[in-house]
Amino acid sequence: MSKVRVGIVGASGYAGEELLRLLTRHPEVEIKVITSRQNAGKDIAEIFPRLAGTGLSFSAPDVGKIAKECDTAFLALPHGLASEFAIPLTEAGVVAIDISADFRLKSTEKYRKYYGADHPAPELLKTAVYGLPERNREQIRTANLIACPGCYPTSIILPATALLHAGLVSPEGIVVA
């Protein structure tokens, strides 16, 4: 089996660093592109010394390069920026995995309510799959846009789902704050 060719957009932030740490050790992944606007041209060891020896260097974000070299791209970007890359990458056939909250909600109204702005790519909300394998394993396998759930939503969804399925609680009035 060939390795999955991966890019990480926004690789110099906290989420990007954690992805790098995990993916550099993954036997079925080959990291092809890591991007950072502020660190473009720098060797990874200059920013993350513990990742010295990986042969990776930061480049400026370039959708064309990512689409050419990667099967999958992680979007480790601040809130509101993922669609800038998700749209062209998915159109180019690259699976986009968004680590921000940009594609977690299906409803444009709820997005506006919680984030105070219109969603920049509402057409993608319809196709994004919520990346919780305990709930959406089969959809994730064929998705071209995966919205990573955060730790807080996961900590609520998993036990609440089990309780709801067992009929031990009612869905009426559940509020998570």
- 71 vs 67: CA distance, rounded Å: 7
70 an active-site residue? no
Contact between 73 and 148 under an 8 Å Cβ cutoff? The reply is no
Token pair 């791209």 is found at 73
- 102 vs 87: CA distance, rounded Å: 12
CB atoms within 10 A of CB 175: 4
Contact between 79 and 115 under an 8 Å Cβ cutoff? The reply is yes
Which residue in 49, 116, 141, 151 is the catalytic one?
151
- 67 vs 74: CA distance, rounded Å: 12
For 55: left if phi > 0, alpha if psi spans -120 to 50, otherwise beta; the answer is left
Active site residues: 151
